[in-house]
């Protein structure tokens, strides 16, 4: 007779109640291996929990009570903290053979407690004792300005996993040194003991020789901090993470101390001996540096002399800079964030933004103040720029006091969406600068429902050229449910827009047989929004396997996540709006077009055809080729086949 009721599994813990008062003995098995056992007194109607980090790594587990009651733990991957959801299914499948509990330390427990805004600014990060690369992965997804990620790890299997985990994200910015950290220049190679128990790590260094029968002895070349600095021609290491299983004692050697103070701005150190901790504090705690222990027991060293050095131009009295972003739409506003970031870096400090969409810039470290357009604030600033310019006057013969009377129209459907903002301040964005920024806040209860077993459909109506009839959306829903195990959520918001001097209503398309409907009805304008809506949408998309949508605001928002994007084709060239991630428009972005590939809305010849001049825009909602249907759009079947292709690719990944 079973007396235990499993209530939920969350953050690596099983929550349960018992129907009677008694003492129980429990065993927790994960992948047929017992990871935890114990006993407790239980009482009816009181919820208890048993936790172990390995529940966040694997997909099969069982709780056994008193050797006889077996409770399979179903739905482990529904936990938003599970590795499948945090890393993504494709990444999870690549590295699941090497998963260990360091995942919990980095992604769930946040052992290092480093301010994400600092990581975002780092250009050079060195990971000493990189294991299979979880710390590297965590930093790589935040560090927008990263130039080099240097990993040092002696174990070849761990390095293989690191390569599989992080090369798709970092490419040639990832460097892996298969060596042992050392402090002595005359030590060319050293031995380490590779543990056969991979629960937390594959490596125990020379400092740990107990249980020698459970360890494999291996020799690898050694590397000093000085070698890294010289070999990679580094002026400064912004962040140095050290977890070298006892070899942190080399930080006491004078040569290493010298290079730490001259080249390292911040270090996070796991120290395995209280004596070493005391000795390190005596050296690294100075008037210009701090050496403190965080709440998780790790040590943080801050070299204030280097941290205070700005690599950006220094201005004695920082100018007050205002950038106006006048567009009302979510996607267009998001496309301004690369320009905002570049301006902020140029001046060396956060700037102010005036916008219709304050929610886009919340928590953005490059933005100091956010204003709406109801305020007249220009006179309070030293310099004012406006990025979203549809009309530009051209000077005559490079004379800055003489202009042609007819302005040039910046044809919004023919200009790269992010460059349009950059042109407004006289700049150009290079591929590594084109990624958009959104800095999410807390998840909502609704967003926590979504994980990598879900696909999100954005079903709001737009122009006729990029809108599906309800029947097409419904067919896509039917095929997804019939042929896959994916759950479906729909998102969208009915709203009003000013379009070609008219006010039009764009409604959401409601669908049957979906698993969650997050659509909102209403008649607000597109720049009138609920304060937390974009944050919740970001988390939903980031948690999901994929977003399927026409070109839209959610497409641009998805470009700041690591989820797949399937864009349904229309009359605008995909290069104009496709998100940039990892200096590429193809990373997890999949465009599905129709039989017509003329992209008439992005071709100036149709301006001439309709208006007799290139200095105009054709009526974009209509087909410029005169077809009675939009042949640039794919069928629901073609979109579904692309989704199936992605799902099949996930299953075909070979380690």
> Judging by DSSP bridges, how do beta strands 502-506 and 495-499 pair with one another?
antiparallel
CA dist., res. 653 & res. 655, Å (int): 7
Q: What is the chain's mean pLDDT, rounded?
A: 85
As a residue count, the chain comes to 655
Distance, CA of 183 to CA of 196 (rounded, Å): 27
Please name the residue that has the structure tokens 């409770």. Answer: 71
Residue 626 predicted with pLDDT over 80: yes
pLDDT exceeds 90 at position 216: no
All residues at 6 or more sequence positions from 31 whose CB lies less than 8 Å from its CB, including other chains: 58, 60, 61
Say what the pLDDT of residue 503 is: 65
More confident: 157 or 255 = 157
pLDDT at 594: 93
Choose which CATH entry (3.40.50.150, 1.10.3720.10, 3.40.50.300, 3.20.20.70) describes domain 88-307.
3.40.50.150
Contact 470, 497 (CB under 8 A): no
Q: Would you say 428 and 422 are in contact if contact means Cβ atoms under 8 Å apart?
A: yes
CA 265-267-272 angle, to 5 degrees, is 160
Over the stretch 5-24, which tens digit does the pLDDT of each residue have?
998 888 888 999 998 898 99
The b-or-e profile of 581-610 (16+ CB within 10 A means b, else e) is: bbebbebbbbbbbbebebbbbbbeebbeee
Percent of the chain with pLDDT over 70: 89
| Mean pLDDT value of segment 322-335 | 91
Give the end-to-end CA distance of the chain in Å, rounded to a whole number.
Answer: 43
- Per-residue pLDDT at 512: 92
What pLDDT score does 215 carry?
61
Mean pLDDT of 166-189: 83
Q: What is the mean pLDDT of residues 110-137?
A: 90
* Residue 417 in this model has a pLDDT that exceeds 60: yes
Largest distance between two CA atoms of the chain: 92
Residue 588 has pLDDT above 80, yes or no: yes
Residue 533 CB-half CA count within 13 A: 17
State which CATH number among 3.40.50.2000, 3.90.740.10, 2.170.140.10, 3.10.130.10 fits the domain covering 447-652: 3.40.50.2000
**Whether residue 223 has pLDDT greater than 70:** yes
Q: What topology does CATH give the domain 4-78?
A: Immunoglobulin-like (2.60.40)
pLDDT at 541 over 90: yes
The residues that bridge with 64 in the sheet, in sequence order, are 27, 70
Q: How confident is the model at residue 310 (pLDDT cuts 50, 70, 90)?
A: very low
Can you say whether the dihedral through the CA atoms of 520, 525, 527, 531 is positive or negative?
negative
Residue 366 phi, psi (nearest 5) = -90, 0
Provide the 8-state DSSP code for 653: -
Comparison of pLDDT for 200 and 471, the residue scoring more:
471
Residue 546 CB contacts under 8 Å (≥ 6 apart), including other chains: 455, 456, 563, 564, 565, 566, 643, 646
Other C-beta atoms lying within 10 Å of the C-beta of residue 488? 21
**Cα distance between residue 553 and residue 37, in whole Å:** 49
Is residue 625 within 8 Å of 600, Cβ to Cβ?
yes
SS3 at position 555: helix
pLDDT at site 142? 87
Phi first, then psi: give them for residue 226, nearest 5 degrees. -60, -40
| DSSP state, residue 449 | G
The predicted-structure confidence for 247-297, as pLDDT tens digits, reads as follows: 888 898 877 888 898 899 999 999 988 889 999 998 999 888 899 998 888
For position 262, what pLDDT does the model report? 87
- Give yes or no for a contact between 425 and 339, defined as CB atoms under 8 angstroms apart: yes
Find the mean pLDDT for residues 350-369: 89
Can you tell me the distance from the alpha carbon of 20 to that of 40, in angstroms, rounded to the nearest whole number? 13
Which residue has tokens 């709001």?
460
Q: Evaluate if residue 149 carries a pLDDT over 90.
A: yes
- Output 205 or 337, whichever has higher pLDDT: 337
**Which band of pLDDT confidence, cut at 50, 70 and 90, is reported for residue 237?**
very high
- Per-residue pLDDT band for 636 (boundaries 50, 70, 90) equals very high
The pLDDT of residue 603 is: 86
45 exposed, middle or buried (CB, 10 Å; 0-12, 13-18, 19+)? exposed
Sheet containing 589-592, strands listed edge to edge, beginning at the edge strand earlier in sequence: 516-517, 487-491, 454-458, 546-550, 564-568, 589-592
pLDDT in tens, 452-468: 999 999 998 877 888 89
Please, which pLDDT band fits residue 442 given cuts at 50, 70 and 90? Answer: confident
Residue 78: count of CB within 10 angstroms of its CB: 16
Q: What are the Cα distances from residue 314, in Å, to 124, 349, 367, 382?
A: 21, 9, 18, 17
Q: Which of 104-113, 489-498, 546-555 has the lowest mean pLDDT?
A: 489-498
pLDDT band (50, 70, 90) for residue 472: very high
Question: Residue 202 pLDDT > 60, yes or no?
Answer: no
**How far, in Å, CA of 302 to CA of 75, rounded?**
42
Number of Cβ atoms within 10 Å of the Cβ of 347:
16
Rounded to 10°, the helix 470-483/636-652 angle is 30
Specify the pLDDT at position 313: 40
Q: Can you give the pLDDT at residue 601?
A: 84
Cα radius of gyration (the chain):
28
pLDDT at 489: 96
Tell whether the model's pLDDT for residue 403 goes beyond 80: no
pLDDT of residue 10: 85
pLDDT band at 517 (very low <50, low <70, confident <90, very high): very high
The whole-number pLDDT of residue 203 equals 47
Reported as a pLDDT band with limits 50, 70 and 90, residue 168 is: confident
pTM of the shown model: 0.56
For residue 175, the surrounding DSSP H or E stretch is strand 174-177
Among 166-170, 223-227, 348-352, 627-631, the minimum mean pLDDT is found in: 348-352
Give me the pLDDT at residue 17, please. 92
- Model pLDDT, residue 652: 41
Task: Please state, for a pLDDT cut of 90, what percent of the chain lies above it.
Answer: 40
- The reported pLDDT for the residue numbered 477 is 96
CA dist 623 and 612 (Å) reads 18
Which helix (H) or strand (E) segment holds residue 276: the answer is: helix 274-284
pLDDT of residue 502: 64
> Quick one: tokens of 467?
């809108």
343 touches 385 (CB < 8 A) = yes
Domain extents in the chain: 4-78, 88-307, 321-433, 447-652
pLDDT over threshold 50, residue 654: no
Question: Given this chain, do its domains 88-307 and 447-652 carry the same CATH topology?
Answer: yes
> Residue 581 corresponds to which tokens in the numbers above?
């991630």
């Amino acid at each position: 007779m079973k007396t235990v009721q499993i209530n939920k599994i969350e953050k690596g813990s099983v929550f349960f109640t018992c129907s009677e008062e008694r003492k129980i003995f429990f065993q927790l098995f994960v992948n047929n291996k017992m990871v935890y056992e114990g006993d407790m007194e239980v009482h009816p109607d009181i919820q208890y929990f048993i936790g172990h980090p390995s529940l966040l790594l694997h997909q099969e587990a069982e709780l056994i009570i008193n050797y006889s009651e077996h409770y399979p733990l179903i739905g482990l991957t529904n936990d938003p903290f599970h590795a499948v959801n945090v890393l993504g299914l494709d990444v999870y499948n690549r590295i699941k053979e090497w998963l260990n509990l360091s995942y919990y330390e980095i992604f769930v427990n946040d052992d290092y407690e480093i301010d994400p805004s600092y990581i975002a600014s780092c250009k050079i990060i060195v990971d000493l004792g990189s294991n299979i690369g979880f710390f590297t992965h965590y930093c790589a997804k935040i560090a927008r300005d990263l130039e080099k990620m240097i990993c040092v790890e002696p174990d070849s299997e761990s390095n293989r996993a690191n390569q599989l985990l992080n090369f798709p994200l970092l490419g040639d910015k990832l460097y892996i040194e298969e060596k042992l950290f050392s402090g002595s220049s005359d030590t060319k190679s050293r031995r380490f003991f590779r543990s056969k128990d991979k629960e937390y790590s594959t490596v125990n260094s020379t400092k740990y020789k107990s249980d020698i029968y459970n360890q494999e002895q291996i020799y690898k070349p050694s590397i000093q901090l000085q070698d890294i600095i010289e070999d990679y021609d580094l002026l400064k290491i912004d962040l140095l993470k050290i977890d070298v299983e006892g070899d942190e004692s080399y930080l006491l050697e004078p040569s290493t101390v010298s290079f730490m103070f001259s080249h390292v701005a911040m270090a996070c150190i796991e120290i395995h001996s209280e004596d070493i901790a005391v000795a390190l504090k005596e050296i690294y705690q100075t008037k210009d540096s701090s050496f403190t222990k965080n709440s998780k027991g790790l040590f943080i060293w801050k070299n204030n002399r280097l941290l205070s050095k700005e690599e950006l131009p220094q201005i004695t009295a920082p100018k007050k800079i205002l950038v106006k972003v006048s567009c009302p739409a979510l996607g267009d506003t998001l496309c301004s964030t690369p320009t905002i970031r570049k301006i902020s870096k140029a001046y060396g400090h956060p700037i102010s933004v005036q916008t219709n969409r304050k929610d886009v810039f919340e928590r953005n470290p490059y933005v100091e103040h956010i204003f709406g357009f109801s305020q007249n604030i220009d006179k309070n600033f030293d310099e004012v720029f406006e990025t979203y310019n549809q009309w530009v006057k051209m000077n005559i013969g490079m004379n800055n006091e003489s202009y042609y009377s007819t302005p040039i129209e910046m044809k919004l459907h023919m200009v790269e969406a992010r460059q349009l903002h950059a042109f407004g301040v006289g700049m150009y964005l290079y591929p590594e600068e084109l990624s958009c920024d959104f800095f999410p806040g807390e998840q909502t209860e609704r967003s926590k429902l979504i994980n990598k077993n879900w696909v999100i459909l954005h079903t709001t109506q737009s122009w006729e050229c990029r809108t599906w009839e309800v029947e097409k959306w419904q067919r896509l829903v039917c095929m997804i449910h019939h042929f896959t195990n994916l759950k479906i959520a729909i998102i969208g918001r009915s709203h009003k827009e000013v379009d070609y001097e008219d006010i039009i209503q764009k409604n959401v398309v409601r669908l049957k047989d979906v698993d969650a409907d997050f659509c909102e009805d209403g008649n607000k304008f597109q720049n009138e929004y609920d304060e937390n809506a974009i944050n919740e949408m970001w988390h939903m998309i980031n948690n999901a396997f994929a977003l399927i949508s026409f070109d839209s605001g959610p497409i641009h928002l998805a470009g700041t996540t690591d989820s797949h994007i399937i864009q349904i084709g229309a009359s605008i060239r995909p290069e104009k709006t496709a998100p940039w991630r990892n200096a590429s428009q193809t990373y997890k972005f999949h465009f599905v077009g129709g039989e017509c590939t003329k992209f008439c809305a992005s071709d100036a010849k149709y301006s001439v055809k309709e208006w007799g001049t290139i200095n105009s825009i054709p009526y974009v909602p209509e087909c410029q080729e005169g077809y009675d249907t939009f042949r640039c759009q794919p069928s629901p079947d073609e979109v579904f086949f692309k989704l199936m292709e992605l799902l099949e690719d996930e299953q075909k990944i070979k380690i």
